[in-house]
Amino acid sequence: MGLCLGIESTAHTFGVGIVSFDGRILANSKDQFTTTKGGMVPNDVARHHEEVKERVLMDAFSRAGVSWEDIDVIALSASPGLPPALHVGLRFAKELSRAHKKPLVAVNHSIAHLAIGDLITGAKDPVYLYVSGPNTQIIGLAGGKYRVFGETVDLGLGNMLDKFAREIGLGFPGGPKIEKLAMKSSNYIELPYSVKGMDVSFAGMLTKALRLFEQGCSKEDLCYSLQETAFAMLAEISERAMAHTGKGELLLIGGVAANKRLCAMLDVMCSERGAKFYAVPLEYSGDQGAMIAWQGVLQYLAGERRSPEELDISPYERIDDVEVFWK
């Protein structure tokens, strides 16, 4: 059985996954850049990836119990992402391709999130709610492309949570810390609820919450209220997308999918309309290499092969820029 080695290097996580052509995940090794205070500085992230890349690669091989001889193709998360971080992955993928004489495949990171979600949950043709650090999008496959039906007009939900956390001194990543504090409150403080058609906005909510914090509102109440407001907005646009497209499944992906309260709200919404809700388990919902490897398998089996000279990064590529030739 063929194997693909996938390299993730778009943002905070450096990951290497090894996945078989029939979708068995043999390894999913990673090392995430974190801080105790302050956010993500692109050059610090790149330095982190340089430092850990060899170790993460070795760890993936030892967990999978395979060697270079067993690998058929190398997939790289070539877009979108922080340019300094993407460059570390690009140089590494080219080096490995030359050293071990393996073809390359260039994967769009966002599409890889969708693909691993399908693989893990068995969803057939869902509406995807993709909520990561920089992204908040409602996506569905239509007419040979992943279409973005709605999205944030300013900050991604994860980045909004991370900014709030940073400003109130919780460190990075902020989402999990906010989730913990939110569990300690049920006192809702009104924050701007901003849905326009299929789009959402989080900037006003962030500004208001920070102002209320300065005025002495408790961290717990604000974390709870941020979650309740932002998640209700997402439930509303997800429901509208399902109604418009007639799709009967919702698949939640991206790092924010780890949040239990968000899952619970979406689950209720779906069961009320007789739809299926799927959340991707923690290990596969955030950034990692297995998703790059699996999307690499799909593209390789559909005929893509690149030489190191033909591989490049596209930091700003959108999901709807990509032709879906593998389905």
If one asks whether residue 176 binds ligand AMP (CB under 6 A), the answer comes out as yes
Residue from 28, 132, 225, 295 touching Mg ion (CB under 5 A): that is 132
Q: Which is nearer to Mg ion, 136 or 185 (CB)?
A: 136
Separation CA 110–CA 107 (nearest Å): 9
Separation CA 23–CA 199 (nearest Å): 34
- Asked if 17 contacts 48 with a C-beta cutoff of 8 angstroms, the reply is no
Q: Which stretch binds ligand AMP (CB under 6 A): 17-25, 142-150, 255-263, 294-302?
A: 255-263
Q: Which stretch binds ligand AMP (CB under 6 A): 83-91, 145-153, 159-167, 188-196?
A: 159-167
The residue of the chain with the least Cβ separation from ligand AMP equals 255
258, interface contact from Mg ion, ligand AMP, none, CB < 5-8 Å by kind: ligand AMP
Residue from 6, 15, 89, 175 touching ligand AMP (CB under 6 A): that is 175
Q: Which is nearer to ligand AMP, 71 or 178 (CB)?
A: 178
The CA-atom distances, in angstroms, between 139 and each of 147, 237, 247, 275 are 6, 11, 11, 16
Q: Which stretch binds ligand AMP (CB under 6 A): 19-27, 116-124, 173-181, 244-252?
A: 173-181
The CA-atom distances, in angstroms, between 103 and each of 73, 191, 218, 306, 309 are 5, 51, 54, 6, 11
In 22-81, which ranges are E strands?
25-32, 73-79
SS3 breakdown of the chain: % helix, strand, coil, rounded to 5?
Answer: 45, 20, 30
If one asks whether residue 159 binds Mg ion (CB under 5 A), the answer comes out as no
| Smallest separation (angstroms) from ligand AMP to the CB of 175 | 2
Q: What angle do CA 169, 175, 176 make, to 5 degrees?
A: 95
| Smallest separation (angstroms) from ligand AMP to the CB of 143 | 26
The residue assigned the tokens 């709870």 is: 224
If one asks whether residue 254 binds ligand AMP (CB under 6 A), the answer comes out as yes
Neighbouring CB atoms inside 10 A of 240's CB total 17
Report the residue count for the chain: 327
Number of residues that bind ligand AMP (CB under 6 A): 19
Q: By three-state DSSP, how is residue 125 classified?
A: coil
Separation CA 81–CA 7 (nearest Å): 13
In the range 106-135, which residues lie near ligand AMP by CB under 6 A?
A: 132-133
Q: Which is nearer to ligand AMP, 71 or 182 (CB)?
A: 182
Query: Taking CB under 5 A as the rule, which mask of x and - marks residues 278-317 in contact with Mg ion?
Result: ---------x------------------------------
Sites of contact with Mg ion (CB under 5 A): 132, 287
Sites of contact with ligand AMP (CB under 6 A): 11, 132-133, 158-159, 161-162, 173-176, 179, 254-256, 258-259, 286-287
